[in-house]
Structure formats: C-alpha cells, structure tokens
Amino acid sequence: MPLDNLRFTVLLALSLHAAFAGVRVNLSLFALSLHASPFTVGSILSLLALLPTLFSVHAGRVIDRIGVRRPLLAGTASVICGIALAFLVPRLEMLFLVSCLVGSGFMLVHIAVNHMAGGMGQPQDRAMNYSLLALGFSTSGFLGPMIAGFAIDWIGHRRTFLLLGGLALLTLVGLLARRIEIPRHQALEPTGEKPRLSDLFRNRTLRYVFLASGVLSPAWDLFTFVVPIHGSQIGLSATEIGMILGAFGAAIFAVRLMVPLLLHRVGEWQMLILAMLSAGTTYFAFPLVHGMPLLLTFAFVLGMGLGGAQPMIMSLLSAKAPPGRAAEAIGVRSLIINMSQTGMPLLFGALGEALGMTPVFWAMAVCLVVSGYIARKR
C-alpha cells in the first residue's frame, strides 16, 4: 500500500509539475510578446519563488505536524487559481500575481510529496523512492515545456494557460477522488525548547547538503530562464525553444533511470561534484553555438549533469534530518532554492540587459566549476 500511494502521488505530482513547468515557459514568452524587457521577465519569474522563500520552512513544520493531505489540496488549488487569472486577465501586470500564486502553491505540493517519499517504506528504500519521484518530475519537466512550446505556436499564449490549467485540475480531481494514506513519522521528543532553524545547520552533513543545493539550484534555474530569452534573440521559434527545454528534461529523465545502478558505483557526493563540473563546462560552451542540433546536444548534456543530483540531495536530507523534522529540512532546502529563484532571475535579467546573455552563461559556469573544485578538495 505505501508503494501504491507513492506511485499514485507521483502521477498527480507529474501532472501538476507539467503545468508548473509549462506556465514558467509561457510566462516568459508571453511577457516578451508584450514587449517586456529582460529585467521585467526576470522580475516576473523571481516571484515564482518569492512567497516560497518566505514560508517554505514554516510550511515544512506544518506538514510535519498535520500531514500532507491538506497542504497538497491547498497548493494545487493555488496553482489552478493563478493559471485561471492568467487566462481571464491576460495583461502584463497580472503576470506578477500569477507568479506568486503558482509558485507558492507548487512549493506546498513539492515539500509534501518529497516528505512522503522519504517516509514510505524502510530506510533502505529511501533512495529508490526519491528516484521514482525524480523520474516523475523529469517526465513532467520534459512534457511541460514541450506542451507549452507547441501550444503557444498553435493556439496562442492565452489558450495555452487554459490547457496547462487542465493539467493542474487533473491533480486536484485525483486528490479528491482518493484519500492518500499518510505514513506515521517519529514525533519530536518534548524537550521544553522550541526547535530552532540553527539546529539543522549545526548538523555537518545537512550543512553541506544545503550548500550543494544552493550552488546547483541556480544552475538549473538559469537554464529555464535564459533559454527563452537567448532563443528569442537568436531567432528561434517557440517550438524550437520548447524542444531545447524538453531535451534538458529528457536528459534528466534518462540519468535518473540510471540512478539505481549509479548508487552501487558512485557515492552521493561524487555525483554532486560531477554535476557541478559538467554543468559548468557546458554553460561555457552553450552561448557560442546557434544551430539547433548543437543546442539540443548541449541541453541534453547539461540535463545529464544536473539530473542525478536531486535524488542524492533528498536522500541525504531525509536520512540526516532530526526525528520529526524531515519536512522542515526539506523546507530549508526549498528556502535556499527559492532564494536563488527569487534573486537569480533579477540578477541574470539585469546582467543580460546590460551585457547580453553570454556573460550570464559564463558567470554561472565559473561559479559551478569553482564550487565543484572546492567540493572535490574537501
């Protein structure tokens, strides 16, 4: 039964994440079609992570206390409301509110689903659970941009929001149709002291995992942010941009299929270091080519480099978190990621508007290579 519940939840999360990934692409291209500057596009995308940045740790604590069902329902409803507003009021200023609703809603779902994956089955099943969940997110990471890219060219931006809203609605219907069993987790032992965020950072392994997330997350975000802008600047269609983003998602899916094999040969930290170094090299070369075959190849290589890191990070978090605080640890990781997603689009947008997209790619490449070298030395 726990495995059936996890598989069912992965399918629901796949549908919602496909909608989220598609909305992210559509927000960028729709804003550009309304003559928004790169900085404005960055501002809109940064709002996808603004509220999650403020509330992700608190959301994790609430999920530790009340379980996952109500957060799943609330988060899915928020995503649907945001997409509906984008369809009903297709104006540039409305996209700022849409980003807040969609981003905060998906944050709740993401923390809840990851909490379930870490708590189902035996401890030795944890890595496999996260591999299954990661495969689901990889599938939706491939489908969402592809659906959005083709739909924009065929039916326009506004109707694409309606299509993506249908995917999110499937998740809500599934949650209402089947009550998911919530695994019992070890509760916090009463000590008379209120749990503090600093307690998690005193854990040496958790601290390094948080740092790795803080480096790899901007690398992921940069790709989904700059490819629509870079592609538009070099004359690619929405379909071609969607194909590049889809190739990135397909590579993530492929490498996560191999995670069970890699677990027996490569340690978690070795995979994280490899992800940093390979992604940094690819980012340096990416803006130097304009042809679709090479762009698709580089997108696939980058996805292979980054795709295997997330299951390793989540497995380490779930294993090393204090009893009864697993969702809170996931919330801290979400906080770090969302801080990156809030600040990096603004930074990338401002840098891109001032200097062009190439320095943006190269700055990220330097950060990744240096971080990978430091991690290797440690």
On whether residue 153 sits in a domain, the answer given is yes
Instruction: Judge whether 207 and 62 are in contact, CB under 8 Å.
Output: no
Domains contained in the chain, number: 1
Predicted local distance difference test score (pLDDT) of residue 97: 92
Q: What interhelical angle do 69-88 and 50-66 show, nearest 10? A: 150
Q: What interhelical angle do 268-285 and 357-377 show, nearest 10? A: 150
Indicate the pTM of the whole model.
Answer: 0.71
Q: Model confidence over 305-317: pLDDT tens digits?
A: 887 777 777 777 7
Could you say which residues of the chain have pLDDT below 70?
1-4, 119-125, 127, 180-195, 198, 260, 263-264, 338, 340-346, 348-349, 352, 375, 377-378
Predicted local distance difference test score (pLDDT) of residue 345: 62
Q: Name the token pair of 240.
A: 């071609």
Through-space distance between the first and last CA atoms of the chain, rounded to whole angstroms: 42
Predicted local distance difference test score (pLDDT) of residue 370: 84
Q: Which residues form the domain of 295?
A: 2-179+198-377
On whether residue 184 sits in a domain, the answer given is no
On whether residue 78 sits in a domain, the answer given is yes
On whether residue 187 sits in a domain, the answer given is no
Q: What is d(CA 11, CA 265) in angstroms, rounded to the nearest whole number?
A: 29
- Give the Å distances, CA to CA, from 86 to 18, 33, 155, 171: 17, 14, 15, 19
Q: Model confidence over 193-243: pLDDT tens digits?
A: 566 776 777 777 777 778 777 778 778 777 877 788 788 888 888 888 888
On whether residue 26 sits in a domain, the answer given is yes
On whether residue 189 sits in a domain, the answer given is no
With CA atoms as reference, report the closest residue to 344 among 39, 31, 103, 24: 39
Check which CATH number belongs to the domain holding 122 and give it.
Answer: 1.20.1250.20
Q: Model confidence over 280-298: pLDDT tens digits?
A: 888 888 888 888 889 999 9
